[in-house]
Amino acid sequence: MLSTLLKGFGSSVTKGSASLQTTLRQVQTSAQDTAASVSKLREQLRYYAVAEIAGRPFLITKNDKVIVNRLKDVKVGDVLKLDKVRELGSKDYTLKGSPYVPENIFNINATVIEHTKNSRYLQQLKNIVFIYVLLSLWSKTYNKVIVGGPTRAFNDFKAYIIKIVFKQLRRLPSVQAKINEALGSTLADMEKSMMAKEEGCEVNLTLPAKGLTEKQVMESLHKFQKLKAADWQSGKVSGSIYHGGEQLTRILGEAYSIFAVANPLHPEIFPGVRRMEAESVAMVLSMYNAPATGCGTMTSGGTESILMACKTYRDMYKDLKGINEPEMVVPDTIHAAFMKAAYYFKIKLVTVPIDPVTLKVDIKKVKKAITKNTVMIAGSAVNFPHGIADDIVELGKLAKKYDVGLHVDCCLGSFIMPYLERAGFPTTPFDFRVDGVTSISCDTHKYGFAAKGSSIIMYRNPTIRKYQYFLYSQWTGGIYASPSIAGSRPGALIAGCWSALMHMGDNGYLETCKQIVGARRIMEAGVRSISQLHVKGEPIGPVLSFGANEPLNIYDVGDKLSARGWNLSALQNPAALHISTTLPWVKSADLFVSDLKECVKELVDDPSSGNGSTATIYGTAASVPDKTIIDDVAAGFLDLLYKA
């Protein structure tokens, strides 16, 4: 009968423990022998287990006889002692319709003698798990829908489903075989292109049996230097080479030579290196208007500076607020080093969309994304993709209001942003003068023109910086302390950084700012004069990013420019081309505008002349549903870098 009732009510039945059910006795009732039935109930059914049917508690016998229960303060799994049984008669409680059969039903008065503890605890555990799952789903839904917007949430969900489907499809041998074939072909083409630039190189896979002479080593080095490469000296390569001039290059080389064996891990052996590092940090702090408490460290580059900032806030707010599930809120356009930090340090990454017109991070959505687990928010001045500075003032207000860290990524803006105002260009507040800014990263090896491998991470005060340090006093090798990720570090790079700062000086950086931003403005004006193109946002630093108006494909424009020797960076989501203007571009800006106009005209006159490699690569990448395939290609490319 119970199974029939379950179908009728459409609900599951949770029974009491099996041990309780074994104590129940089968009861036979009949309308002709009501007194005997009641007597049997009193004698044989002294204890009952409570089950739930259709949201109501019912008493259940071993043979699944269901007896209506009107008791209060009873829960599923409770054990009841019978006090009184009274027959009500089937006419009062009749289940209508087939396959139900009228039964004599009893009104039971009973006393709860034991609440089943296991069932109660189990129910509480279920409730806790249910609430946790509900909150987790709400958190994800909130971040996706409220912060990212419904369109983005739908696209992300669709991409997630497609990813799952294709992950399963890749398990099929035939599918995986086709993917491997296509992947192998792509990587083979990459290897051919890469190795073609190294033709004529002697292959060295083992140590030479006898060491080479100095002359032989120098000859080999010059051969490597002369390998076919992009022409950066003439100002046709975006970013990459932040060249401060031949004289500075000679100074850097000499500095490296003098301190080639220096290691700042041992300040007692290399006190000069310690001094140069401290002075380099102090000079950059001054440039960014740090308060008297301002401090920092030198790192190996912008990525390490950003990693250190994220690690610092994670550890600081775990200590100060007890946050064990840290989150950071960053713009979509933030540098990928933040994604790397989130991955390395187990910090939940919450990305916030940018305004479609200004391309600055949406402040309202940043506010919505901040939770009790947020340890930091971040903005760029300027970002890599479009050269746009986020609204640091408004981000600072949020950081103050919610007591979280605010990191400003000035790795690319470095020695340009601090000089914009004095150079007569538009600027925006971005440094320590903005209330709420607690850390800033600045690459000295970009527009500071130091040798590659140096950056400065700055903090508002030493209390914050302490959380960056790694300290271990129990090591058998002695007390160990290091300021950043590396233990031993090249003192030669510190010497080179100090040398660049001292040689360039304030006046030198002001002048290079004028030249570099001036060149960017020339190219920006050229792009704006071409009706088929548009500039992304309102750049204020050294970066220019531009896209194409349909039906023109911007990647085709890039391929046309590549054929003329220009080496620009391709962007995606949305498609665009990027130029990080450097000093060599100062003399090539006008030529670039001229070539750009000619390339666009060629494509307008003959659209079929496009469809180059960049358009193919990014077009394919956009059309591939399973993005892990793109990851496989990228991993294969990295593998090729280590193929001798």
What are the start-end ranges of the H helices in 564-642?
589-605, 613-623, 628-641
Whether the predicted pLDDT of 8 surpasses 50? no
3-state secondary structure at position 456: strand
Which positions ≥6 away from 139 have C-beta within 8 Å? 371
Give the CA angle between residues 230, 235, 240 to the nearest 5°. 60
Report which of 510, 499, 549, 542 is spatially closest to residue 528, judged by C-alpha positions: 549
Condensed to tens digits (0 to 9), the pLDDT of residues 107-134 reads 444 444 344 444 556 667 777 888 888 8
Whether the predicted pLDDT of 141 surpasses 60? yes
- Name the percent of the chain lying above pLDDT 70: 78
Helix, strand, coil in percent for the chain, rounding step 5: 45, 15, 40
| Residue 343 neighbours by CB distance under 10 Å | 10
Condensed to tens digits (0 to 9), the pLDDT of residues 217-240 reads 999 999 998 887 777 888 899 998
Report which of 512, 428, 438, 443 is spatially closest to residue 468, judged by C-alpha positions: 438
Question: What residues does 548 pair with on adjacent strands?
Answer: 533
| Residue 217 neighbours by CB distance under 10 Å | 11
Whether the predicted pLDDT of 365 surpasses 90? yes
Q: Are 55 and 79 in contact (CB under 8 A)?
A: no
Higher per-residue confidence, 550 vs 85: 550
What are the start-end ranges of the H helices in 534-606?
554-563, 589-605
Q: How far is CA 427 from the centre of its chain?
A: 28
Whether the predicted pLDDT of 91 surpasses 60? no
- How many angstroms separate the CA atoms of 41 and 591, rounded? 103
* Helix and strand counts by DSSP (H, E) for the chain: 20, 18
